[in-house]
Structure 1
Amino acid sequence: MLASQSNWIFTYKDQIEKKSQLEDLSLSSVVKELLMQRGLKTKEDAEKFLYPALDQLHDPALFHQIEIAKKRIEQAIEDGESILVYGDYDADGVTSTTLMVEALREKGAMCDYYIPNRFTEGYGPNEAAFREAYKQGFQLIITVDNGIAGVGEVKVANELGMDVIITDHHEVQEELPEALAIIHPKCAEDYPFKELAGVGVAFKFATYLLGYFPKQFLDLVVIGTIADLVPLHDENRVLVHFGLKALSSTDRAGLKALKKQCSLDGHVTEEDIGFRIGPRLNAVGRLQDANMAVDLLLTNDPDEAGELAEYVQELNTERQKVVATIAEEAIAEIEQQDGSDHYVLVVAKEGWNPGVLGIVASKLVQTYCRPAIVLAIDPETQSAKGSARSIDGFDLFTSCMQHKSLFTHFGGHAQAAGMTLPVDNVSVLRDELDALAKEQLTEDDFKPQLRIDAAIDLQDVDLSVIGELNHLAPFGMGNPKPAFHITAKPAEIRQIGATKNHLKIKFAQDGIQLDAIGFGLGDKYTKLSKDTAIEAVVELQENEWNGIRKPQLFLKDLAVKEWQLFDYRGAKQWQQQLDQTLANQYILAFHDKEKETNDVIGPEQFDTIEQEIEALYLVDLPQSLEDLSDLLKGKQINRIYACFQLNDGYFFQKIPSREEFKWLYQLILKRKYFDYKTDAPKLASHKGWKLEKVKFMFQVFHELGFLTREGATIVPTESPEKKDLTESPIYQKAVKQMEVEETLYYSTYQQLKQWIGEQLHAASKPEEEMVYGF
């Protein structure tokens, strides 16, 4: 057996209406089922999903205060007023800022932008920045990707005589700012889609403001939308679909330079944004002032763009090092707290860079599968500032809002949040969230949730199906890559990579073989037997090598539901298979000479074990099959490693036949004596027997009382008691040992697995009979 790393949720086992209007679509049954699972049960809905079109976007006029905002901007332009775009320091914020500045400038406005410093000002509006804007002559402030929580700051702006237009998408809190206009999907009852990113809201506003569809901004929209992890359905799906095309062929100097740093050429995918472009733009605001990221996106000068992109690359490299260091220190802090006892992890320390704590929190969630809050302590202000990430079963925003009084500043979503609070409140926050989580979460919640869309056979995996699946892209939040469940035996298992930390399996099923790659799963190599079926959750992908295209499986998780046998019989280095991380593995030896260390236990100790055994190593042969059989009965063992060694065995020597025993005894009776030292070698040579065989036969005769010794001579006993050969303990031991060797050492893998399986299963039969009564 091998447990999965995640909780597998078989969504395809839910009740799905089999009759649908998708039958007319020329798609495989696999893809049709996936469409139905995504709630697309009509041909019209499916075609909209598969073939996004710009006319699927909603009318921005449905934001009920958008006309007020537009008129105020037009008035500002007419009166020559200065407009300040107040943005944010992450990828969504800098793309929103760039987009709004370009839209205003195209409209003819005098405008500038401001990105608050993550370290000195924090997220969202702040009073000092608004007062400074007033001093510099700005009459209108437009927030992008922030502002919905700036109640006090907007009040200050109003008192100074400045108007504020808020464009945002973050969670709405109890009180709304008294802004001139709020453009927010969740504040607009008539707007049908509530999950736009900040850049998506800015784009809708720009569309309404300019009076046409500004395709030139789509390359910005796709970056912010994917980087901010909003659900990729409805409008977001359309914007990302066309945004990826726009980004792939963008003429924007800054993005071209950034793509070069990312080694991107040609078609850009959502993964390229999520793992390359997005992190680099985020790195600027995480380590210093994010204005440089906006400068990069706004510049038309290729030389300036190249220099800025190169510096962004350097910052990203530095960011990676900082994250690794803080993550290591945070894990050490958690271990000191005995993190396994806490449902919510809260760590705080002086000297940590607040800009990267969201990434560190994500790493802690991946490591411990618990909600995590990571805070940097400022000793001067005695405040703690940082970020939080959560797991699927715990709504971080709602839970923190129940204790809002603990925070100086707080905002975010169900799965991610940012916060500032007094140092004295950190332990209180840990206790309060821990109590809430204990009420809400179960043990299953502490494993990642892995949703499985369909079961598939290897014979159904081909390039045409993979091509159809690509029509479901772009993938991301709300539209994950389809995950499939397969069950097949591995024809080959290998560790790959420079450090052997990846896994490659060649699955075989009904004559079909298919390669599967599992990154980071190399440690499973010693826990998988080639002769046992593996259940795996996979994604389907295309692999091209030397011009040859073929389907391939990408392993997300795997499990083995039955016990496994690993055959290391005769291998001298079986100790290398020991997993030092396991607490419930045992090395069993039947003979004292094998019990040279405290790690090895004997039959008496093993017999007392009642809990489930993860791994059992059998290092020597028992004296009888019954000795091993009795120990295996009643035990729950996931993996058994047969590491038997054999030096002097009986199996290939064979026990002498009765006729051979009879012939030798009659010879001695006839001769009346036998000088073993002189006659035994001659007898062995004459009969073609080994000397050990002759010795064994004489030992049996002596034990049965058929022969006796007179000095150096062996003579027959007068009138011996009639006995059968099987009454000799030496003969019995030899027969049993030969049976042991034949069954446990010289048997085939399948024969050995069948025998051990029968012993493990034998204990359950009486229990079943007792429970069911028949």
Structure 2
Amino acid sequence: MLQSKMKWKFTYTNQLEKVQSIKGLTPLTQQLLMKREIVSDEAIQRFLNPSIDDLHDPFLMEDMAKAVDRVRQAIENEESILVFGDYDADGVSSTTVMVEALREAGADCDFYIPNRFTEGYGPNEEAFRFAHDSGYSIIITVDTGIAAMNEADLAKQLGIDLIITDHHEVQEVLPDAYAIIHPKTSSQYPFQELAGVGVAFKFAEALLGRFPKDLLDLVVIGTVADLVPLKDENRVLAAIGLQAISHSKRPGVLALKEVCGIEGEITEETIGFTIGPRLNAVGRLQDASPAVDLLLSQNVEEALEIAKFINQLNQDRQKIVSDIAKQADEMLIEKSADLENVIVVAKEGWNPGVLGIVASKLVRQYDRPAIVLGIDSEKGEAKGSARSIDAFDLFTNCMEIRERFLHFGGHAQAAGMTLSIDQIDALRADLNELADQKLSDDDYQQVLDIEMTVDLEDISLKQIEEVNKLRPFGMGNPKPLFHVKKEPKEVRLIGSKKNHLKFQFQTDSSRVDGLAFGMGELYPQISPSDKLDIVGELSINEWNGRKNLQIMIQDLRIEDWQLFDLRGSRHVEKSIVIPTDESFKAVTFSGATKSPHNIPIYSVDDFQQDERIDGLVILDLPKDLEELKELLNRILVSKIFVSYRVEESTFLQAWPSRDHFKWFYGMLLKRKEFNLHHEADQLARRKGWDRSMVDFISEVFFELEFVKIKDGLITINSQPSKKDLKESKLYQERENQLMIEKTLYYSTYKELKNWFNQYLNEKVKPVKEEVVNGL
């Protein structure tokens, strides 16, 4: 048995009969749509064919008309406008959208993005005073500002009209701004989950009086990178935005594609894993303005230089993250063998701009909430980020101990915080106590939401292409995870470091590859012919013009007991891997004193009835098959390793039949005597026998008193008693040994496992599989 690393949550029920037949769609796709509560013909068509016609009127947003009129007035009066943005990918793309729209409308404008390290997040007094001193009469925030109470009051005092465009959570009290454009403050607006760039795009549409499709390549970046739900308007903006960015002529986009090596169509994954992280990297390490400059650039050469600079920053960011994560890991290892419920690590010199990424890595690695803090000893403060697991609400739990923080903000799964250095240990103790009270052992496992169980025989390229019609995938529309139960035809290690697994599954009509990245350590824990339960994403691998099915495996398990065949191996120690949470025992039938990894050695009598054992290593062959049968029926075992050897094989020696015995006895009757020392080898050569067979027949006859043997001379007993060959103890022992070797040593793997299956404790044997939902 092999346990899964994550908790599997089967989210489906047997609903196929409830799904109305939709022309052109398979039952699998229909059920995926139903799970997303898309059931009517109209809703299905809108979901599968996103159109700008499904977008909402921007003027349904409260204050939109008021804000647009003020900007047009400013353009007419030649007033200067400052766009105040944020330093992440959503903020950068929002800033670019707003600046381009304002400039097209004829405004005199510029942008300002606060420095994460010196100014922190959001509007601040110093920046607003700078704007006033620089002659700006209007400030328009994008992707920020909804919590800027003090700054709104300051703007009023300074005579600046503040227009807030934002999408973050609304506080109980709103800033006293000139206008607030926010879906969640607009009761008439049908959709409340736009990204910051989506709100900026709505403003651009209202200001320009047209649908600005030339800005869609920017809108998709922030929409996908900010992980907003890809439903309703976000789905439309993401879907048509991906088409736009794939064919964009914007110098900044072309430069990013070149430095990132992006070819062909850009997908939501390209943005999420390639473009978004690079734009985010700028603000994590320095002022984020170069990211806006890149997207605003009209010059190809200039854009390429900026893109190269940003790409280098991203590489620097990756190294910084790697170094900090390594240091954090070393701190956890040094501190204790028993990992705490909530990880809290802090160190001076850690870059606060990347600590959220480090926290995410620790959560994935250790399956528990993690807080990573950078210490500023001059200020006496620690500042950092936190990430959590599904079962532990960071915001709620941290608010229970809010007195520990100087500043705190966030939501259930992510948060930022500042606290005094002397509060770090208390914070760790408090959160661990809360986690100990509220969480069970199961809560520390990541959860995989499985959409459906499928049979690979029923999956085709056409089916996967149809499932891809549900793209773009993301929050609110997750990429479907499927459960498959199948025995692989082949398992091997791949990659330069041999740290990935590749499975080959064979169906009636095709071959399906399964790729499990980063799971190479499981290779020695997968025995031949194991039926695997795997969870992963179905996809198409295209290489040299050929398309093949593949499944990108996220987790796997083996529910049946496993047999590892190490018979005759001289590398047993290397072949046996003992997981840290498992206990192994070794059994000997002949008094063996050595075992691999010094696994404790026991005799059969030492094992208790229904004793549960993770791994059993069989060191030598039993003297009787009944001994092993008794052991198998007694214990509950997950893995069996057969590591015995045969030095002098009975099975490989010639086994005489009754005709051999009959001929030999007839020869003795005729000759009266036979000299084993001088004639046995000659007889064996003449008859084509093995010499050992001559000796064995002679010894059996002697034991049964058919002959006498003295000094190697065999003579017939004149009055032999009538006995069957099987009455000979020697014959019985050899027959028994022959059966032991044939059954346990010279059998095929399949034959050996079938034999073990016959005698295993009933509680270990796999139950008959239930019919599962799916295809």
For normalisation by structure 2, the TM-score amounts to 0.90
Please tell me whether residue 34 in structure 1 is matched to residue 2 in structure 2: no
Give the aligned CA root-mean-square deviation in angstroms.
3.1
Separation in 1, partners of 2:594, 2:383: 56
Secondary structure of residue in 1 paired with 2:375: strand
Separation in 2, partners of 1:577, 1:74: 75
User: Residue in 1 aligned with 2:206?
Assistant: 208
Q: Return closer, same or farther for 1:382/1:612 CA change in 2, 3 Å cut-off.
A: farther
User: Residue in 2 aligned with 1:647?
Assistant: 647
Q: Which of 166, 169, 175 lines up with 2:167 in the alignment?
A: 169
Q: Answer with 95-104 or 151-160: which moved more.
A: 151-160
Q: Answer with 699-708 or 228-237: which moved more.
A: 699-708
Contact 1:618 1:643 in 2 (8 A): yes
User: Residue in 1 aligned with 2:677?
Assistant: 677
Separation in 1, partners of 2:460, 2:710: 83
Q: Answer with 614-623 or 212-221: which moved more.
A: 614-623
Contact 1:138 1:162 in 2 (8 A): yes
Secondary structure of residue in 2 paired with 1:207: helix
Please tell me whether residue 542 in structure 1 is matched to residue 547 in structure 2: no
Separation in 2, partners of 1:149, 1:604: 71
Amino acid at match of 1:578: I
User: Residue in 2 aligned with 1:244?
Assistant: 242
Secondary structure of residue in 1 paired with 2:379: coil
User: Residue in 2 aligned with 1:218?
Assistant: 216
For residues 26-105 of structure 1, the aligned pairs below 5 Å read: 26-105=24-103
User: Residue in 1 aligned with 2:771?
Assistant: none
C-alpha deviations, 1:673-699, integer Å up to 9, x for none?
A: 776534544554565543323444455
Secondary structure of residue in 2 paired with 1:247: helix
Q: Answer with 729-738 or 719-728: which moved more.
A: 719-728
Amino acid at match of 1:180: Y
Separation in 2, partners of 1:336, 1:130: 47
C-alpha deviations, 1:440-486, integer Å up to 9, x for none?
A: 43333322222222222223222222221221111112112222222
Secondary structure of residue in 2 paired with 1:73: helix
Separation in 1, partners of 2:424, 2:149: 25
Contact 1:634 1:764 in 2 (8 A): no
C-alpha deviations, 1:181-227, integer Å up to 9, x for none?
A: 33222333333322211111222222223332222221111011111
**TM-fit CA distance, 1:58:** 2.0
For residues 685-724 of structure 1, the aligned pairs below 5 Å read: 685=685, 688-700=688-700
Separation in 2, partners of 1:651, 1:142: 89
Contact 1:164 1:180 in 2 (8 A): yes
User: Residue in 2 aligned with 1:772?
Assistant: none
**TM-fit CA distance, 1:732:** 3.4
Amino acid at match of 2:10: F
Secondary structure of residue in 2 paired with 1:83: strand
Separation in 2, partners of 1:596, 1:640: 14
Separation in 2, partners of 1:471, 1:95: 27
Separation in 1, partners of 2:764, 2:278: 58
C-alpha deviations, 1:363-392, integer Å up to 9, x for none?
A: 111111222221111111111111222222
**TM-fit CA distance, 1:330:** 1.2
User: Residue in 1 aligned with 2:197?
Assistant: 199
Secondary structure of residue in 1 paired with 2:553: strand
C-alpha deviations, 1:546-605, integer Å up to 9, x for none?
A: 222333332232222212333343444444322254443445444446726662543428
User: Residue in 2 aligned with 1:584?
Assistant: 583
User: Residue in 1 aligned with 2:15?
Assistant: 16
For residues 28-427 of structure 1, the aligned pairs below 5 Å read: 28-338=26-336, 341-427=339-425
Q: Answer with 567-576 or 382-391: which moved more.
A: 567-576
For normalisation by structure 1, the TM-score amounts to 0.90
**TM-fit CA distance, 1:617:** 3.8
Separation in 1, partners of 2:658, 2:263: 83
Separation in 1, partners of 2:155, 2:203: 22
Please tell me whether residue 754 in structure 1 is matched to residue 729 in structure 2: no
User: Residue in 2 aligned with 1:556?
Assistant: 554
Q: Return closer, same or farther for 1:457/1:680 CA change in 2, 3 Å cut-off.
A: same
Separation in 2, partners of 1:466, 1:598: 46
Q: Return closer, same or farther for 1:179/1:378 CA change in 2, 3 Å cut-off.
A: same
User: Residue in 1 aligned with 2:732?
Assistant: 732
**TM-fit CA distance, 1:256:** 1.5
Separation in 2, partners of 1:197, 1:403: 31
Contact 1:83 1:141 in 2 (8 A): yes
User: Residue in 2 aligned with 1:631?
Assistant: 631
Separation in 1, partners of 2:537, 2:476: 17
Secondary structure of residue in 1 paired with 2:550: strand
Contact 1:726 1:732 in 2 (8 A): yes
Q: Which of 435, 453, 456 lines up with 1:455 in the alignment?
A: 453
Separation in 1, partners of 2:509, 2:363: 41
Contact 2:585 2:602 in 1 (8 A): no
Separation in 2, partners of 1:385, 1:228: 23
Amino acid at match of 1:752: L
Q: Answer with 378-387 or 159-168: which moved more.
A: 159-168
Q: Return closer, same or farther for 1:403/1:76 CA change in 2, 3 Å cut-off.
A: farther
Amino acid at match of 1:620: D
Contact 1:25 1:43 in 2 (8 A): no
Q: Return closer, same or farther for 1:681/1:502 CA change in 2, 3 Å cut-off.
A: same
Contact 1:154 1:179 in 2 (8 A): yes
Q: Return closer, same or farther for 1:580/1:3 CA change in 2, 3 Å cut-off.
A: closer
Separation in 2, partners of 1:180, 1:277: 35
Contact 2:124 2:151 in 1 (8 A): yes
Q: Answer with 448-457 or 652-661: which moved more.
A: 652-661
Q: Return closer, same or farther for 1:748/1:326 CA change in 2, 3 Å cut-off.
A: same
Identity of aligned pairs, percent? 51
Q: Return closer, same or farther for 1:136/1:511 CA change in 2, 3 Å cut-off.
A: closer
Contact 1:85 1:113 in 2 (8 A): yes
Q: Return closer, same or farther for 1:188/1:406 CA change in 2, 3 Å cut-off.
A: farther
Separation in 1, partners of 2:24, 2:367: 41
Q: Return closer, same or farther for 1:764/1:300 CA change in 2, 3 Å cut-off.
A: closer
What are structure 1's unaligned runs of at least 5 residues?
766-774
Please tell me whether residue 522 in structure 1 is matched to residue 520 in structure 2: yes
Separation in 1, partners of 2:316, 2:611: 48
Secondary structure of residue in 1 paired with 2:328: helix
Q: Answer with 396-405 or 531-540: which moved more.
A: 396-405
User: Residue in 2 aligned with 1:602?
Assistant: 601
Q: Answer with 338-347 or 422-431: which moved more.
A: 338-347
Separation in 2, partners of 1:463, 1:49: 22
Contact 2:573 2:596 in 1 (8 A): no
User: Residue in 2 aligned with 1:771?
Assistant: none
Separation in 1, partners of 2:254, 2:359: 31
Q: Answer with 49-58 or 125-134: which moved more.
A: 125-134
Separation in 1, partners of 2:587, 2:157: 81
Separation in 2, partners of 1:712, 1:216: 105
**TM-fit CA distance, 1:740:** 0.6
Contact 1:595 1:601 in 2 (8 A): no
Q: Answer with 557-566 or 89-98: which moved more.
A: 557-566
Contact 1:483 1:538 in 2 (8 A): yes
Secondary structure of residue in 2 paired with 1:631: helix
Amino acid at match of 1:408: L
Separation in 1, partners of 2:196, 2:605: 62
**TM-fit CA distance, 1:763:** 6.6
Contact 2:356 2:387 in 1 (8 A): yes
Q: Answer with 433-442 or 472-481: which moved more.
A: 433-442
Aligned residue pairs: how many?
A: 763
Q: Answer with 212-221 or 495-504: which moved more.
A: 495-504
Contact 2:607 2:635 in 1 (8 A): no
**TM-fit CA distance, 1:497:** 2.1
**TM-fit CA distance, 1:646:** 2.5
Separation in 1, partners of 2:190, 2:443: 32
Amino acid at match of 2:733: K
Contact 1:170 1:412 in 2 (8 A): no
